[in-house]
Amino acid sequence: MDLREDQLANLCAFGYTEVEARFLYLVATHSGYFTVRQFLEFAHAKSGKRNARLVEKLFSLGHASARRYTRRSLVYQLRSRHIYTAIAKGHLRNRREHELAHIKARLLVLDFILTHPEERYFETAEEKRRYFVERFKVEESLFSQTEGQGNGISFSDRFPLCVAYPSPDFMPVVTFTYVDPEHRNLDAYIAHLRTYRPLFRRLPGFQFLYISSAAGLQKEAAELFSFLVEAKSLLDLTRYFDLQTKWDREQYGLITERDAIFLSEARRRYTGDSIATLYHLWKRNQLPKDFQIEAASVSLPPQKILFRAITVPGHEAIFGNSTKNWGDGWQIRGCSGAASPRRSLSRPTQTLQRTADA
């Protein structure tokens, strides 16, 4: 956490305790949204007066609003510009209304950071860009300084990025993350890997964390990472597609006993919708270039790369089957107005078919 003493004092001046102020700083910087459970975990407290007092302050000061998606709990959003200005984060867009997928992703981001508080996270896109330019001499043309514009890396996803110690075998290593709140398909994940791949290939080593609330797609995510980033196992993938095609055409005479053993193992290894789509494209001679054998022959610098899949609890019980976005016009608890420090608290309350050569 990079909370400065003056920023802590600014938050405490509103009437928040130090623990509350430190938590709100994390929320404002990395998420914008939070739940009571997350605050209690941060404060190492049980449900009761601690969270009730925080909510009362947030609503009385007009610093937050809340939504109830199911009967289980509320989701809170820090909405007051005064909170963000107090910590020099007035440029952040966390105050705006967002779609449900964004809200779920930000809550998972906060969960991850709360369970890994020892890491030093880069808090802005500019900090991330400057780190790679200065530390690894990455050319500035690789980055886009305008979020959502240009073909460069803008870090607009705002996924956690830090320098971490993944294991005793690794020196401090830059750690990228991908947060998957829906875990339904990996199209967005594939697009993310293609976007960041030019940066990955300029680093001597790094760690990549796939973060989700369910383990169902983690194996598939690991295979796709191996294909797209490390250019590994593409020969095995192509051999699997070739043998599976012969099997589908009942050309059993073209399959040796050794081939049959490999095919049986490959069917267990290569599973999921993404692999099925790749197989379909391969049969039509439309396999993307970065999944073809030629991609494996590209000369890459030696790297030490670690991929890890991490499961976090998630918030399915809170959202249920709701598809409501934050700005869908239903009731908001709390106030949206601003409050000054020491103010009285008595006031009422993309797809696989897209090719990429980078």
Q: Tell me the three state secondary structure of residue 107.
A: helix
User: Does the pLDDT of residue 280 top 70, yes or no?
Assistant: yes
260 inside domain: yes
Higher pLDDT, 44 or 98: 44
User: Does the pLDDT of residue 29 top 60, yes or no?
Assistant: yes
Based on the fold, state whether residues 222 and 119 are members of the same structural domain.
yes
Q: ∠ CA(50), CA(120), CA(101), 5° rounding? A: 65
Query: How many structural domains does the chain have?
Result: 3
User: Does the pLDDT of residue 75 top 80, yes or no?
Assistant: yes
354 inside domain: no
Q: Quick one: average pLDDT of 255-277?
A: 95
Based on the fold, state whether residues 5 and 124 are members of the same structural domain.
no
132 inside domain: yes
User: Does the pLDDT of residue 124 top 50, yes or no?
Assistant: yes
Tens digits of residue pLDDT in 290-333: 998 887 776 667 888 999 999 988 777 777 666 667 655 444 55
Q: Which long-range contacts (CB under 8 A, 24 or more apart) does 290-296 make?
A: 290/194, 290/227, 290/228, 290/355, 290/356, 290/357, 291/227, 291/228, 291/234, 291/237, 292/234, 292/238, 293/234, 293/235, 293/238, 295/227, 295/231, 295/234, 296/231, 296/232, 296/234, 296/235
Whole-number mean pLDDT of the chain?
86
Based on the fold, state whether residues 103 and 154 are members of the same structural domain.
yes
Based on the fold, state whether residues 18 and 87 are members of the same structural domain.
yes
356 inside domain: no
CATH of the domain at 60: 1.10.10
Based on the fold, state whether residues 244 and 205 are members of the same structural domain.
no
Based on the fold, state whether residues 12 and 85 are members of the same structural domain.
yes
User: Does the pLDDT of residue 235 top 60, yes or no?
Assistant: yes
Structural domain that includes position 55:
1-98+325-349
334 Cβ partners below 8 Å, 6+ apart? 58, 59, 62, 64, 65, 66, 349
Name the band, by pLDDT with cuts 50, 70 and 90, for residue 151: confident
Rounded to an integer, what distance in angstroms lies between the CA atom of residue 27 and that of residue 126? 19
Provide the pLDDT for residue 345. 45
Q: Quick one: average pLDDT of 87-113?
A: 89
Rounded to an integer, what distance in angstroms lies between the CA atom of residue 340 and that of residue 65? 17
Tens digits of residue pLDDT in 153-175: 999 999 999 998 766 666 788 99
Based on the fold, state whether residues 185 and 314 are members of the same structural domain.
yes
Based on the fold, state whether residues 338 and 265 are members of the same structural domain.
no
Based on the fold, state whether residues 70 and 36 are members of the same structural domain.
yes
User: Does the pLDDT of residue 357 top 90, yes or no?
Assistant: no
355 inside domain: no
Q: Quick one: average pLDDT of 199-225?
A: 94
82 inside domain: yes
Provide the pLDDT for residue 184. 83
94 inside domain: yes
Based on the fold, state whether residues 116 and 221 are members of the same structural domain.
yes
Based on the fold, state whether residues 164 and 175 are members of the same structural domain.
yes
Based on the fold, state whether residues 137 and 241 are members of the same structural domain.
no
